[in-house]
Amino acid sequence: MFLEGAWSLWQASLNPSLLIPGLIALCMVTAYIAALPFIYRQLPNPERPAVGALVTFLSLSFGALPIVALLDALKIWQTHASYTVVIICSYLYVLAAFTGFAYACRTSYLHNTPTALAW
């Protein structure tokens, strides 16, 4: 993902004031995704209202983004988004997918972990 994203940013011919923050954000997203298999158990509890609202928003946006892209491709609803916005939305889409998967793994891990040792 990092190589594809860096290549996309480089080919966009962005000026350095946009290219450097884009590469930094790409590095942060890639590091987060690479670390998820090791830190998914430390994710915030989705039972908390703010975390639950964020997870709900990510779930809804995960389902809405392909519909918006399809409507834009069919010229039914024009978004007039720049190339940079499209790249950012695609990274956020991947981030939402992996975060949702990590929460699913966290929930599965917590349900399958015994709370007390059976003697």
- Domains: count for the chain: 1
**Considering the domain boundaries, does residue 119 fall inside one?**
no
**Considering the domain boundaries, does residue 8 fall inside one?**
yes
Give the per-residue pLDDT at 116: 46
**Considering the domain boundaries, does residue 38 fall inside one?**
yes
Give the per-residue pLDDT at 112: 66
Q: What is the DSSP string of 56-89?
A: HHHHHHHHHHHHHHHHHHTTSS-----HHHHHHH
pTM of the predicted structure, to 2 decimals: 0.68
Q: Structural domain of residue 79, as residue ranges?
A: 2-112
Q: What is the pLDDT of residues 55-74, one digit of tens each?
A: 888 778 778 878 888 888 88
Give the per-residue pLDDT at 115: 53
**Considering the domain boundaries, does residue 66 fall inside one?**
yes
Those residues of the chain that have pLDDT short of 70 are 109-119
